[in-house]
Amino acid sequence: MSDELEQLYQTTYTAVVRFLYRKVWDADRAEDLAQEVFVRALAHRPDKPRAWVFAVAANLARDEARAAVRRKRHLTLLKGDPAALPTVPPAADEVVENDERKAAVKRALDALTPRDQEVLLLWDAGLSYPEIATQTGLAVGAVGTTLARARRRLIDAHERDAAGDHAAHS
Amino acid sequence: MRHIPEEELHAYIDQALSRSQCVEIESHIAACANCRAARDSIAALRDRTTSLLAALAPAPRIAPSFQVVQARHAAATVDRRHRARVAAWAASIVLAAGVGYGTHALLDPPFEEHKATSTAMLPAPIMLTPLLAAPAAGMAAAAPHPVPAPFNSTLVSATPAASVAASASAAASPPAVSRAAGKHRTRSRAIPARIAGQDSATPKPRPAESVSLLAGFSPAEPATVELSSLGFPKSGADLDLDGIWRTVSWDNAQSEAGEQPARINGLPVVQVQVQQSRASGKPLMVVAQQLESGDVIRTIEGSVADVSQLLARRPATPAESLGRTTSVRRGSRMLVITGDLPSDSLRAMIGRLNAGPIHSLDDVAAPTRSPARSHLLLPRDRRW
């Protein structure tokens, strides 16, 4: 079993980190939480580890967010906003461009309902429709519908945002 | 000619459809220019989404080796065991007071109609069970007095039938028990303080809404485990339960229960805890599951005696309550759903239990080896 988990770790670690990053917006935190997820997987030996791992990740991220709010550390979340964070020190204008793009996509993602966001991010993390269905409580058939809507809205929001930007700068 | 709906095309592109569905779609697309164009545009939409989302990623880093994870796991296990041991000592002092309090209700005469029931339900003599966790500290501070000696003798005389089961001084109780107990000679178990929904002159008056057994709903189909996801329950949720609990993996839970642990179909399992039952063979099992909203629901399954005891526990502060509760009987086993939800939501969940055939009220009333029918308490619409 440990072999299975190790293999899962190798194949999905990056996706888990990314999934978490999109919730906590802090690369270090995301890595730490991802580690924690796999530590727990070792403790619990779940039946369907792949889906399990993302469910746990979502829970941890949610707890994290709640704890932060409770302790009135709202600023931490804002500080983690990609628009403000240079992740590597490249050339100055490259930084700005990357972060702007990130911020724009983040804004577009925020335009979705939490349910649509969740389904979209789970799919992007590599989960199958049945896995997404169980995780979110949707019927399998509804996953397709939700993804269809989520994708459209993401693109639309992003395009509107970009258009707005151009209007402002022109 | 029916065109393919958008969501179906998304599912198709995502390879989420069955082979036969795909064949159907492909043959339609071959003949229909509209749907061909739709498919292409949806494929483009999906790719665009992927590339947008790709921007939302942290700087790529090399994953630490798996050994790091294993080491962390090993460290966490040691830590947890140590903490549990420390907590058990602190908590056993608390229980001394708690037990005394809990048994006051026992001394009140039960209502006539349920008299037989309450006697029959009384299990073995009271046994001190070590509690777990931080709330213990609060309780100890609040009620430091040792259990009054009179309670002991009164108890024995009130339940001559039950004291027969004196043999039940079962599981090892840690040395702390005898230390804290002081005046206690007997090992005792807290007897369910309320039976049959009546609320006689107990020290703390509580409105108890009795819920009769849910009769006549169809037995839940035994389901395979679709998802066994375990995360961490809401902070503090771990500490609600009396006694020594082991957190187990899903596999272990299945082998310990001898069957799949009772739980609600379709919700991710957050944690499974197990406690050896003093009375019967099968262990007491608690499965915590998480809703979309983040709320944790617990399904507790065990012998009637064990579960009643658990429910009778009084928390130290309102925060550590079991939330609302609803329950049902299956012969000599009892199933309880607890959670911070409205009672009727919890009741509805009973219908989604995977726990096999649920006896109706009539079944339970039929003569069987199990005790006579009784109405079980719950739910409470107020936190304990």
Smallest CA-to-CA distance from A95 within A84, A104, A105 is with A84
CB contact under 8 A, B64 and A67: no
Contact list in A for residue B270 (CB cut-off 8 A) is 59
What is the pLDDT at residue B184?
Answer: 41
Give me the half-sphere count of Cα atoms (radius 13 Å) on the Cβ side of residue B331.
6
Beta-carbon contacts of B341 under 8 Å, excluding residues fewer than 6 positions away, are B295, B297, B323, B324
The DSSP result for B254-306, as a single string, is HHHHSSPPP-BTTS-EEEEEEE--SSSSSPEEEEEEE-TTS-EEEEEEEEHHH
Instruction: Give the angle subtended at the CA of A124 by the CAs of A145 and A110, to the nearest 5°.
Output: 75
CB contact under 8 A, A14 and B63: yes
Q: Provide the pLDDT confidence category of residue B177 given band limits of 50, 70 and 90.
A: very low
Q: Which of residues 34-53 of B touch A (CB under 8 A)?
A: 42, 45-46, 48-50, 52-53
Across the interface, which of B57, B64, B291 has its CB nearest the CB of A18? B57
Among B12, B22, B50, B69, the residue to mutate for chain A (most A Cβ within 10 A): B69
Helices (H) and strands (E) in chain A, counts: 8, 0
B330 has a pLDDT exceeding 60: yes
Neighbours of A81 (CB within 10 A): 14
Contact list in B for residue A22 (CB cut-off 8 A) is 56
Distance from CA of B46 to the nearest CA of A (A): 7
Contact list in B for residue A162 (CB cut-off 8 A) is none
CB contact under 8 A, A147 and B7: yes
Q: Complex ipTM, two decimals?
A: 0.80
Q: Which of residues 246-275 of B touch A (CB under 8 A)?
A: 247, 249-252, 266-268, 270
User: Angle, to 10 degrees, between the axis of helix A92-110 and the axis of helix B33-54?
Assistant: 130
CB contact under 8 A, A63 and B234: yes
What is the pLDDT at residue B66?
Answer: 87
What pTM did the predictor assign? 0.45
Beta-carbon contacts of B360 under 8 Å, excluding residues fewer than 6 positions away, are B213, B214, B215, B216, B217
**Average pLDDT of chain B to the nearest whole number:** 61
Distance from CA of B294 to the nearest CA of A (A): 8
Task: Provide the pairing of β-strand B296-303 with B284-290.
Answer: antiparallel
CB A23 within 8 A of CB A61: yes
Distance CA B136, CA B244 (A): 13
The 8-class DSSP code of residue A60 comes to H
Q: What is the SS3 string spanning B195-221?
A: CCCCCCCCCCCCCCCCECCCCCCCCCC
Smallest CA-to-CA distance from A100 within A116, A81, A77, A118 is with A81
Q: Which of residues 113-152 of B touch A (CB under 8 A)?
A: none
Higher pLDDT residue, B348 or A31?
A: A31
Q: Provide the pLDDT confidence category of residue B108 given band limits of 50, 70 and 90.
A: very low
pLDDT by residue for chain A (170 residues), tens digit each? 568 888 999 999 999 999 999 998 888 889 999 999 999 999 888 888 888 999 999 999 988 877 777 765 555 555 555 554 444 444 444 455 667 888 889 999 999 999 999 999 999 999 999 999 988 888 888 999 999 999 999 999 999 888 876 666 65
Higher pLDDT residue, A80 or B121?
A: A80
Across the interface, which of A39, A67, A88 has its CB nearest the CB of B72? A39
Neighbours of B15 (CB within 10 A): 9
Q: Which residues pair with B329 in a beta bridge?
A: B334
Handedness of CA B86, B295, B274, B376 (dihedral sign): positive
Query: Coil, strand or helix: which one is B240?
Result: helix
CB contact under 8 A, B53 and A105: yes
CB contact under 8 A, A27 and B270: no
Q: What is the largest CA-CA distance in chain A?
A: 59
The whole-number average pLDDT for the span B220-236 is: 36
Q: Provide the pLDDT confidence category of residue B293 given band limits of 50, 70 and 90.
A: confident
CB contact under 8 A, A45 and B250: yes
Distance CA A107, CA A86 (A): 18
B334 has a pLDDT exceeding 80: yes
CB contact under 8 A, A35 and B226: no
pLDDT tens digits, B250-289: 777 777 777 778 888 878 888 888 888 766 567 888 888 8
pLDDT tens digits, B239-251: 445 567 778 777 7
**B212 touching A (Cβ < 8 Å):** no
The whole-number average pLDDT for the span B179-200 is: 40
What is the pLDDT at residue A16?
Answer: 95
Q: Which of residues 54-113 of B touch A (CB under 8 A)?
A: 55-61, 63-64, 66, 68-70, 72-73, 76-77
Chain A residue with minimum CA distance to B70: A39
What is the pLDDT at residue A118?
Answer: 93
CB B358 within 8 A of CB B350: yes
Higher pLDDT residue, B169 or A127?
A: A127
Query: CA distances (Å), B223 to each of B119, B231, B347, in order?
Result: 37, 21, 20
